[in-house]
Structure 1
């Protein structure tokens, strides 16, 4: 009588559920078995090895993962195919249009050329790290053919590479887009893990900004006197509102009697809808702020000026309720406001800064006046006080004098709107 111990190893009968292992005609060994698949179903898979032990080890690994409740990956396409699917069917419903546009550009310029041909289920952390290292050291003029499209080549096409490399911030952004896409692939059980999370790009230095000093801020407002948008610049410097929040203000959002403004929306230009009114950047950005006396006076004067412009425009006036408009009543394009701001800086003989740096200037000037960080956080509409602390923890004058800022642990007056920046002479 033959016992299992007498049966050759290659022909022993395995227990039910262990799968099968046999040698193929091409001398390779094949192991097959059932594992957990997406949708809580079972799927038969096959693995191969040069020896019986190797094939069996691969099958055992997949069965063990299945027993832990981890489904076998089902994606068979390339990384490029999945990124296209993710942008068109997932990201488009969860991102703002401008953010989605930046994600799509990132995928088109960097992710697809670098990783697109790899199979989604085969990509490894080493692949991601190698690709990022290559991006870090490659001249973008050469890699993307930028110089070849110029009328007069001055870089790689002219035989003199300019070594225009990506900044650490850009590399971190590209890496974050890949992580977001692969994270969704994990949630959809297309891949078992997000390999991009195992790759560290380092912490880039935050972008440096040079806020206006008190004297510079006063000079800017003095130069803006008489400008039709003087109230906008006054409001920007005293309250730190974002450009889109300023342009999205409606008269119904203002209560000049009580001196408050409700921030409910933002105005942006999108590639699909043109000038579009959108919700605020975050839930915390939807807030009510206090208006200083100077801003209230400027807004009243601006309202009178707008009424005169409306009468002058007659039937061509386009009433939409916005506080800041063109002389014909239309919303102001953010790009046009940037041009106006740049011209104003030049007229005031001030260094060139971004419009958003007015927001940084507000926060820094408030800190220098001793305003608590939690108050500034409420005024600026940051979602977390950590954001405020990270960006504005070392303002210019406090760093020089060595003073210490006292940060309140809780907001003691929840019904009171945050104070605004004072630039009174």
Structure 2
């Protein structure tokens, strides 16, 4: 009589739903069972091992994940194929055109060459971390053959590596694009988890900028006086508006009698649509701000000048309602505004800065005047006050130092007063009686 212990391992009866385990002709062990698949269906899978225990452990792990509601991955293609699908069918509907262009460049330039051949379901956190570490120490001029495409090679193509490494900010951006793509793969139940979230790239230091001082700001406004865009530069310094917000401003958005402006849109140049008007960067960026009196006067004078330009242009005038336009009434290209701003800096004898640094200058000058951080956050249109506090942390530290120095001077003067009043031979003051 045969006992259960004498039954061969490959023929042992397993409970319903536990799957089957048997030995193949090639001596490997195979385990098969039904697990949850995308679309709330069930699918039979097969796993293999060198021993019965190994194959059974793999099957048990997949069945346990299925019982927790995690469907088995269905994506069988490469990461490059999925990234192409994600860009063309998902990201294009949720991102602005310029952002989508940057994402596409990031995918084609870094992700596909580095990780594109990996299977989507086989990608691990170790793969991503190893690739990022390699990317961090690899000269991009050599890797992408930038110097070879120059008319006169000057570094890598002639054997003199320039060590053009990616900045920590660029590495973080590449990692975030990969995370976004894999996050959507998880939502579509293509993979069980986002392995890119398990990789830490570190927080890059914020970009250093040198805002204008009070004297430099006055110097810039003096140089801009009489310029046809004087009102724009004055408004930029007093309100901290972004370049696109300034160029997208319409006369309907202004209430010069009440001294307010409604920020509702931004002007950008895209590769397909040219100059187009888009909603503000974030929901918090759509706001109403107060205008200082001098800006109201400048805008009224600018409106009169625009009417004279309209009369001069005649039939060539293109009315679109924008506050700041070309002499023919067309919207101003952001690149052309940058060129005008650079020429103005040169005229004023100031160091070269970005136009966006005018926004930083506004916040810095307001902080130095003691304006509350929450007021600056509302004026700049930041989504969270933490953004304002992080970007302008160096200003807050300087204000703290000023406060500490003020306290130190006060305490020092108090000691000097005690020394002056005590004299040399006078007895110490009697302690007050405590009742």
TM more than 0.5? yes
1:398, distance to aligned residue in structure 2 (A): 1.9
1:393, distance to aligned residue in structure 2 (A): 2.8
* SS state at 2:252 partner: helix
* SS state at 1:33 partner: strand
CA distance in 2, matches of 1:16, 1:2: 23
Map of 1:401 onto structure 2: 402
CA distance in 2, matches of 1:23, 1:271: 60
CA distance in 1, matches of 2:120, 2:134: 20
CA RMSD of aligned residues (A): 1.2
Greater alpha carbon shift after TM alignment, 272-281 vs 12-21: 12-21
1:3, distance to aligned residue in structure 2 (A): 4.2
Note the 1:40-59 alignment, pairs <5 A.
40-59=40-59
1:314, distance to aligned residue in structure 2 (A): 0.2
1:400, distance to aligned residue in structure 2 (A): 4.8
Map of 1:105 onto structure 2: 105
User: In 2 relative to 1, CA 403–98 (structure 1 residues): closer, same or farther, beyond 3 Å?
Assistant: farther
Map of 1:258 onto structure 2: 258
1:5, distance to aligned residue in structure 2 (A): 3.0
User: In 2 relative to 1, CA 375–169 (structure 1 residues): closer, same or farther, beyond 3 Å?
Assistant: same
CA distance in 2, matches of 1:186, 1:402: 51
Map of 2:136 onto structure 1: 136
CA distance in 1, matches of 2:376, 2:19: 64
Map of 2:290 onto structure 1: 290
Map of 2:366 onto structure 1: 366
Map of 2:146 onto structure 1: 146
1:156, distance to aligned residue in structure 2 (A): 1.3
Map of 1:338 onto structure 2: 338
CA distance in 1, matches of 2:43, 2:272: 43
User: In 2 relative to 1, CA 399–151 (structure 1 residues): closer, same or farther, beyond 3 Å?
Assistant: farther
Q: Deviations over 1:178-199 (max 9, x none)?
A: 0111111111111111111111
* SS state at 1:121 partner: helix
CA distance in 2, matches of 1:320, 1:96: 23
User: In 2 relative to 1, CA 403–308 (structure 1 residues): closer, same or farther, beyond 3 Å?
Assistant: farther
Map of 1:423 onto structure 2: none
Larger RCO (CA under 8 A, 6+ residues apart): 1
TM-score normalised by structure 1 residue count: 0.93
Map of 2:351 onto structure 1: 351
CA distance in 1, matches of 2:350, 2:162: 31
Structure 1, unpaired ranges of 5+: 405-425
TM-score normalised by structure 2 residue count: 0.91
Map of 2:160 onto structure 1: 160
Structure 2, unpaired ranges of 5+: 406-435
Higher helix share: 2
Q: Deviations over 1:102-121 (max 9, x none)?
A: 00000000000000000000
Map of 2:323 onto structure 1: 323
1:16, distance to aligned residue in structure 2 (A): 1.3
Number of aligned residue pairs: give it.
Answer: 404
1:307, distance to aligned residue in structure 2 (A): 0.3
Note the 1:195-214 alignment, pairs <5 A.
195-214=195-214
1:394, distance to aligned residue in structure 2 (A): 2.8
Q: Deviations over 1:225-245 (max 9, x none)?
A: 000000000000000000000
User: Is the radius of gyration larger for structure 1 or structure 2?
Assistant: 2
1:62, distance to aligned residue in structure 2 (A): 0.4
